[in-house]
């Protein structure tokens, strides 16, 4: 295949950025999108140009390191697919493909296609865990969890933290990411003790860094794990209840 | 031999050793723990679990990872599951049986006492992870489900769909995040450790490079823990994540840490075969698929009919034929070699004839499609994305690929390397898997080391340094190490040659896979040992790294990692050459039975080979830790 790439190049957060156009020929349809970028980078290096920086690691859709906007879509055209799992057979021979970094106020740019997603870690640090010191756990089968509950918790826990939901959202909101973790833990019996403080704290840290959700639903479409926006509804209802409960607890 | 290889195995019967040891190690009292600074490099399963547990105990912990978040590490890709001797299935499992299976699976090249402790701690891991909210698979009654996994005759594997590593890592990451929020752990992301600092024979700190700013800095601590994973990427193509590398432990090796059994690498039988020369990594299809999939090839070499048109009688279900007792579930090393043999006989399938079929047709017929979907859907989907073929309709194609490294830094029973104050945990050490790792036991080992072993044993070393401040970072030993790191970075940029890092890495990978991969021979290894130094010379003279050191430069990062692979690969070949036997994942063509099975030579090689750095990567010094077996008597592994 022969393709034309229009790639965002920017040396650093305070440096000017812009699109550069690269004609790439001899691309195999079997290549993944990132292997195509590898091939581009080999050619750039051979002709003395600095390769394009992009994040990646597992290349099998599980680590959440990769992620770019491809023709304006987070992770590109294939539903439920991370950039590293997208293959060139999904593109036409002769296509022009535009590649940009995630664009969101909560994800400052580092270089080229690499952004800083550490605000996600701040949200988790605010309460995305169950407090249980090593060694203090009871036998695992002491607390049965009905299978449907465990399965739904898993659906939420499948989030890979790539940031596509934020990048796809017109408001740059992180509600799907936050809701996924809150729902995973709030659904399980183990997560009940901290349910209300967790919800309140995580939502509030989320709001510090990210825009607000106005129910566009773009996040669900962009999510490589197809995490449902129903979890956002669950989070919202827990947040309202948390506000009341936490106030009542304080009043006591 | 100049290394002190005292494994410090506690006295007493195997069942009591760990308890006895816990009682005899020196403890640090709770109020004093915060006076000790521990630096942990790596936040995969081993590093994150250790960091969280040590911080909970009260130690002052700093964690370094080159990933952008501690939620990411190679551990996240583990699919199949984690073993534990819970015996929830009432099928006769026990701590002793898990211990026995692991020692046997490792082909009697691991240390009994360590393995017993691992099997024992496996119980606690499941409790801990479940309490953290790890969503393991459950049965309708709400209790935990188990499945059986490669090489085991009991169902002891706990799993979370095909994403067990992800869920366990997120559990450990969340425990770590709690400590970060609490101020008990300082976490440095996108920071790479580039050297260990030694003073008077002890590890006292590390030198790091901030990958975003390029800043090189010194950090000092009372103890250093390396939890930096395995080195399968020495082969270039492997199932490991792209960033996996040997640098942290290799740098430690160059500073005096013995490197144990570097040639013990595992080739995983069920990976998607390479499709073209641009392939950047190979994707694993979980071993659990072998529970339901049947492996076969056309009986006649060169039979190119589509799989569906080949009648059952004209198929060779070769694992079932060769190993009737275990069939498709033989351990990884046995399965991989059988697959290689069949493909070498010209029976390979697929456009490049480089695979064998893994067929779910019978299972779908027997169990109905939705049962199979429930078990493996994400794997089937992953397969279809990569190959554009639907495994519900046509059989998968698989071929072995480098996957795991049993070798690593030598550690004693306390998980301390030969350098006092320097520890290695998880895949980075050599401790528990001998010459072959059983499925679902790497997660178990990483978490046992991190949650339950290291937090117990590290105090024994630290107790000696109560009220002593760590060595200051302006001590000359730090300046020296740091200058070394800076010079190396400059050297890469100044070479201005014509070949890229990836080009060298691929060439090295080809040599290693050919001569030090699934099957090894004296002439092949000697060939590798003459080709690698020549390629390395070229690397030093003709490498091209563009850009600067003052910011994010991914090529520069890789240059250092590939250079370390050049040195490691020589140690691997030398180790493979010297080990004149076949055991586990190490198969020497000269040492096989008439029907092609591995021939172990216990009289001469029942030991750990520990290599010591001499300054010349082609001439390391060999040291030996003899292995003795008291609880499990070595026998020939038979899976027939
Ligand atoms: C595809 C796949 C599937 C697997 N499935 C299973 C399974 O089902 N069951 C099982 O038991 N095992 C499985 N394994 C094996 C298992 O996943 C690994 O052995 C294990 O997760 C290793 O964990 P770790 O913590 O030792 O290292 P890793 O997870 O590799 O973590 C290494 C850490 O070190 C950091 N690091 C490395 N070098 C440096 C440096 N120089 N400076 C700073 N940071 C550094 C990294 O950032 C990372 O945080 C699988 C492996 C693969 C490849
Ligand atoms: S590289 Fe890991 S999800 Fe894409």
Question: Using one digit for the tens of pLDDT, what is the confidence trace for A9-60?
Answer: 999 999 999 999 999 999 999 999 999 999 999 999 999 999 999 999 999 9
The catalytic site residues of B sit at: 332
Please name every residue paired with A212 in a beta bridge, in sequence order, or none if there are none: none
Domain around A195:
117-251
Q: What is the pLDDT of residues B275-328, one digit of tens each?
A: 888 899 999 998 889 989 999 999 999 999 999 999 999 999 999 999 998 899
Task: List the domain boundaries for chain B.
Answer: 267-402, 476-626
Q: How confident is the model at residue B144 (pLDDT cuts 50, 70, 90)?
A: very high
A46 and A160 housed in the same domain: no
Partner A contacted by B22 (CB < 8 A): no
Cα–Cα distance, A99 to A5 (Å, whole number): 7
Own/partner contacts of B20-28, CB < 8 Å, gap of 24 or more, are: B21/B413, B21/B457, B22/B456, B25/B414, B25/B456, B25/B457, B25/B459, B25/B460, B26/B459, B26/B460, B26/B463, B26/B464, B27/B459, B27/B463, B28/B459, B28/B462, B28/B463, B28/B466
**In this model, does residue A250 exceed pLDDT 80?**
no
Q: What is the pLDDT of residues B201-219, one digit of tens each?
A: 999 999 999 999 999 999 9
Closest-CA residue of chain B to A34: B280
Q: What is the pLDDT of residues A166-198, one digit of tens each?
A: 999 999 999 999 999 999 999 999 999 999 999
Find all residues with CB under 8 Å of B268, minimum gap 6, and list them.
Answer: B239, B284, B287, B332, B336, B400, B401, B402, B403, B404
Closest-CA residue of chain B to A128: B174
Q: In chain B, which among 113-132 make CB contacts under 8 A with chain A? A: 124, 126-132
> Is this prediction's ipTM beyond 0.95?
yes
CB contact under 8 A, B241 and A63: yes
Show which of A110, A129, A152 is a domain's final residue: A110
A225 and A147 housed in the same domain: yes
Partner residue facing A157 (CB), from B52, B167, B278: B167
Q: Which ligand is nearest to the CA of B242?
A: 2
CATH of domain B267-402: 3.90.700.10
Domain B476-626 class, CATH top level: mainly alpha
Q: How confident is the model at residue B638 (pLDDT cuts 50, 70, 90)?
A: confident
CB contact under 8 A, A129 and B177: yes
Q: The domain spanning residue A121 has which CATH number?
A: 1.10.1060.10
Q: The domain spanning residue A97 has which CATH number?
A: 3.10.20.30
Lowest-confidence pick of A137-146, B328-337, B533-542 = B328-337
**In this model, does residue A150 exceed pLDDT 80?**
yes
A87 and A201 housed in the same domain: no
Q: How confident is the model at residue B376 (pLDDT cuts 50, 70, 90)?
A: confident
Mutate to test the pocket of ligand 2, among A55, A70, A82, A225 (most ligand atoms within 8 A of CB): A82
Closest-CA residue of chain A to B139: A147
**In this model, does residue B377 exceed pLDDT 90?**
no
Partner residue facing A141 (CB), from B88, B124, B455: B88
A35 and A71 housed in the same domain: yes
Partner B contacted by A145 (CB < 8 A): yes
CA distance A21 to chain B (A): 20
Cα–Cα distance, A229 to B30 (Å, whole number): 45
Q: What is the pLDDT of residues B512-561, one digit of tens each?
A: 999 999 999 999 999 999 999 999 999 999 999 999 999 999 999 999 99
The residue with greater pLDDT, A53 or B147, is A53
pLDDT score, position B594: 86
Over residues B558-579, the mean pLDDT reads 98
Q: What is the pLDDT of residues B236-254, one digit of tens each?
A: 999 999 999 999 999 999 9
A12 and A85 housed in the same domain: yes
Q: How confident is the model at residue B91 (pLDDT cuts 50, 70, 90)?
A: very high
Q: In chain B, which among 347-386 make CB contacts under 8 A with chain A? A: 382, 385-386
Cα–Cα distance, A130 to A190 (Å, whole number): 7
pLDDT score, position B375: 80
Over residues B344-359, the mean pLDDT reads 94
Q: In chain B, which among 396-415 make CB contacts under 8 A with chain A? A: none
Which residues in chain B are contacts of A204 at CB distance < 8 A?
A: none
CB contact under 8 A, B180 and A125: yes
Q: The tokens of B398 are what? A: 């698989």
- The mean of the pLDDT values for chain B is 96
Q: Which ligand is nearest to the CA of B73?
A: 1
Q: What is the pLDDT of residues B424-436, one digit of tens each?
A: 999 999 989 999 9
pLDDT score, position B151: 63
Which strand (E) or helix (H) includes residue B621? strand B621-626
Show which of A110, A134, A168 is a domain's final residue: A110
pLDDT score, position B406: 98
Find all residues with CB under 8 Å of B576, minimum gap 6, and list them.
Answer: B263, B516, B520, B525, B586, B588
The closest alpha carbon to B296, from B358, B361, B365, B366, belongs to B358
Show which of A62, A86, A110 is a domain's final residue: A110
CB contact under 8 A, B242 and A57: yes
A215: region left, alpha or beta (phi > 0 left; psi from -120 to 50 alpha): left
A94 and A68 housed in the same domain: yes
**In this model, does residue B1 exceed pLDDT 70?**
no
**In this model, does residue B506 exceed pLDDT 80?**
yes
A90 and A128 housed in the same domain: no
A106 and A204 housed in the same domain: no
Cα of A148 to ligand 2 centre, how many Å? Answer: 28
pLDDT score, position B522: 98
Over residues B168-185, the mean pLDDT reads 98
pLDDT score, position B442: 97
A140 and A31 housed in the same domain: no
A72 and A173 housed in the same domain: no
Q: What is the pLDDT of residues B378-418, one digit of tens each?
A: 889 889 999 999 999 999 999 999 999 999 999 999 999 99
Pocket (CB within 6 angstroms of ligand 2): A 56-59, 61-66, 82-84, 160
Partner residue facing B135 (CB), from A35, A65, A154: A154
Query: Is the CB of residue B110 below 6 angstroms from any atom belonging to ligand 1?
Result: no
A233 and A126 housed in the same domain: yes
Which residues in chain B are contacts of A10 at CB distance < 8 A?
A: none
Number of structural domains (chain A) is 2
**In this model, does residue A248 exceed pLDDT 80?**
no
The residue with greater pLDDT, B385 or A75, is A75
A72 and A106 housed in the same domain: yes
Cα–Cα distance, B517 to B265 (Å, whole number): 8
Partner residue facing B143 (CB), from A138, A144, A185: A144
């Amino acid at each position: 295949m022969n393709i034309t790439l229009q790639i965002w190049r920017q040396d650093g957060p305070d440096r000017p950025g812009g699109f550069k156009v690269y004609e790439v020929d001899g691309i195999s349809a079997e290549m993944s999108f990132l292997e195509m970028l590898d091939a581009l980078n080999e050619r750039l290096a051979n002709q003395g140009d600095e390769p394009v920086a992009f994040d990646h690691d597992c290349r099998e859709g599980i680590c959440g390191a990769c992620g770019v906007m491809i023709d304006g879509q987070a992770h590109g055209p294939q539903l439920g697919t991370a950039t590293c799992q997208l293959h060139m057979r999904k593109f036409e021979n002769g296509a022009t493909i535009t590649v940009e970094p995630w664009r969101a106020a909560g994800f400052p740019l580092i270089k080229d296609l690499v952004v800083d997603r550490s605000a996600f870690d701040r949200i988790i640090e605010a309460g995305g865990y169950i407090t249980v010191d090593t060694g203090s756990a009871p036998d695992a089968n002491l607390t049965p969890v009905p299978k449907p509950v465990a399965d739904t918790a898993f659906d939420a826990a499948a989030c890979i933290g790539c940031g596509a939901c934020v990048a796809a959202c017109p408001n740059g909101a992180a509600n799907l990411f936050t809701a996924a973790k809150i729902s995973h833990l709030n659904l399980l019996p183990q997560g009940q003790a901290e349910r209300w403080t967790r919800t309140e704290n995580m939502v509030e840290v989320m709001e510090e860094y990210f825009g607000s959700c106005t129910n566009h639903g773009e996040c669900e479409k962009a999510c490589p794990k197809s995490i449902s926006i129903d979890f956002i509804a669950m989070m919202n209802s827990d947040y309202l209840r948390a506000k009341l409960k936490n106030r009542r607890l304080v009043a006591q | 031999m100049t290394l002190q290889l005292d494994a410090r195995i506690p006295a007493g019967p195997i069942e009591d050793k760990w308890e006895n040891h816990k009682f005899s190690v020196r403890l640090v009292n709770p109020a004093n723990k915060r006076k000790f600074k521990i630096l942990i490099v790596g936040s995969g399963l081993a590093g994150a679990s250790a960091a969280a547990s040590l911080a909970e105990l009260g130690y002052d912990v700093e964690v370094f990872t080159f990933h952008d978040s501690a939620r990411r590490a190679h551990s996240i890709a583990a699919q199949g599951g984690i073993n534990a001797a819970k015996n929830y299935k009432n099928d006769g499992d026990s701590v002793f049986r898990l211990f026995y299976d692991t020692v046997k699976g490792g082909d009697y090249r691991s240390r009994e006492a360590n393995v017993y402790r691992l099997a024992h701690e496996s119980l606690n891991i499941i409790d801990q992870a479940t309490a953290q909210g790890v969503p393991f698979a459950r049965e309708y009654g709400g209790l935990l489900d188990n499945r059986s996994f490669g090489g085991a005759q009991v169902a002891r594997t706990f799993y979370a769909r095909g994403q067990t590593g992800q869920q366990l890592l997120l559990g450990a990451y969340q425990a770590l995040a709690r400590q970060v929020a609490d101020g008990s752990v300082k976490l440095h992301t996108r920071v790479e450790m580039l050297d260990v600092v030694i003073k008077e024979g002890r590890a006292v700190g590390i030198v790091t490079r901030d990958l975003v700013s390029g800043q090189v800095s010194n950090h000092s601590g009372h103890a250093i823990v390396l939890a930096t994973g395995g080195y399968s990427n020495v082969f270039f193509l492997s199932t490991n994540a792209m960033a996996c590398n040997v640098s942290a432990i290799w740098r430690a090796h160059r500073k005096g840490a013995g490197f144990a059994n570097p040639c013990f690498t595992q080739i995983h039988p069920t990976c998607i075969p390479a499709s073209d020369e641009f392939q950047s990594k190979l994707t694993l299809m979980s071993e659990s698929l072998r529970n339901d999939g049947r492996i076969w090839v056309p009986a006649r070499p060169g039979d190119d009919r589509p799989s569906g048109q080949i009648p059952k009688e004209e198929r060779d279900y070769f694992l079932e034929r060769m190993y009737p007792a275990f069939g498709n579930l033989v351990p990884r090393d046995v399965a991989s070699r059988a697959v290689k043999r069949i493909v070498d006989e010209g029976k390979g399938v697929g456009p490049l004839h480089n695979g064998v079929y893994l067929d779910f047709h019978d299972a779908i017929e027997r169990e109905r499609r939705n049962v199979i979907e429930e078990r493996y859907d994400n794997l089937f989907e992953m397969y279809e994305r990569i190959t554009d073929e639907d495994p519900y309709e046509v059989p998968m194609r698989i071929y072995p690929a480098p996957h795991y490294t049993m070798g690593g830094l030598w550690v004693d029973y306390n998980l301390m390397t030969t350098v006092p104050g320097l520890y290695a945990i998880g895949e980075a050490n050599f401790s528990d898997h001998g010459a072959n790792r059983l499925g679902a036991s790497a997660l178990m080992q990483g978490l046992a080391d991190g949650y339950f072993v290291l937090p117990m044993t590290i105090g024994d070393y630290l107790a000696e340094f109560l009220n002593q401040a760590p060595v200051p970072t302006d001590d000359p030993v730090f300046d020296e190490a740091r200058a070394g790191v800076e010079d190396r970075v400059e050297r890469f940029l100044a070479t201005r040659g014509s070949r890229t890092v990836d080009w060298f890495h691929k060439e090295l990978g080809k040599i290693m896979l050919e001569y030090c991969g699934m099957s090894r021979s004296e002439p092949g290894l000697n060939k590798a040992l003459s080709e690698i130094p020549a390629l390395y010379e070229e690397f030093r003279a003709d490498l091209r790294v563009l850009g600067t050191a003052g910011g994010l430069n991914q090529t520069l990062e890789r240059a250092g990692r590939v250079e370390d692979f050049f040195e490691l690969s020589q140690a691997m070949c030398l180790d493979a050459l010297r080990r004149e036997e076949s055991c586990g994942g190490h198969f020497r063509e000269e040492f096989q039975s008439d029907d092609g099975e591995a021939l172990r030579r216990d009289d001469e090689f029942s030991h750990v080979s520990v290599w010591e750095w001499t300054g010349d990567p082609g001439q390391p010094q060999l040291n030996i830790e003899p292995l003795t077996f008291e609880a499990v008597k070595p026998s020939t592994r038979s899976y027939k």
